[in-house]
Amino acid sequence: MEQYFNFSYEGMHHVLTESKMALNNFRESRSAFSVAINSNARMLCFGPFGDDKRIPFKHVFINLGDSYSTDTSIFTAPRSGVYSLAVTIYSVIDSPINPFAACANLMVNGHAVAVLPEHTSNDHEDSSTVVVAVGLKAGDQVVVLLPAGCVICDNLSHFNTFTGFLLHTTDS
């Protein structure tokens, strides 16, 4: 009976150890972030500029896994996998004569994955949203660029957001 008990105990201990390792791997693989430009009460605009600029998303809703840097405004994929990425941009145009538009580019390693164009029309507000699922490798860098001549505006309503999360990991 003692031999049976020791054998059962060793088997359960092995299963417990494997379960703890799987749980730790799951926790380490979690990655989610959601950021906005600012939390100011009054409307502030970013742009227009003569060249492309990285949009400085500084207000953090969540940064699970600490893979988004508010210093650089870069999301660095912590693990290879399929990620959901979403960007929403917004601008208020003071005058219908204003030639600037709300636009942005979602970039992975310097290449545009999605373009968010919204050109002024008869209204005084422009907005655009894109949601994509992309395969990223560990270390890939994702940013949102404001193209030259574009402008976005935000306040504590958080009209401009950048969000991403890991859907599932892959081997490479």
Fold exhibited by the domain 31-169: Jelly Rolls (2.60.120)
Reported as a single tens digit per residue, the pLDDT across 2-27 is: 777 766 778 777 777 777 676 666 55
Residue 99, preceding peptide bond in cis (omega within 30° of 0): no
* pLDDT reported for residue 65: 92
Q: What is the pLDDT of residues 123-139, one digit of tens each?
A: 567 788 999 999 999 99
Mean pLDDT of the chain: 86
The whole-number pLDDT of residue 25 equals 62
Query: What does the pLDDT read at residue 119?
Result: 61
Extents of the domains making up the chain? 1-30, 31-169
Contact 57, 143 (CB under 8 A): no
SS (H, E, C) 87-102: EEEEEECCCCCCCCEE
Residue 144 has pLDDT above 90, yes or no: yes
The model's pTM: 0.80
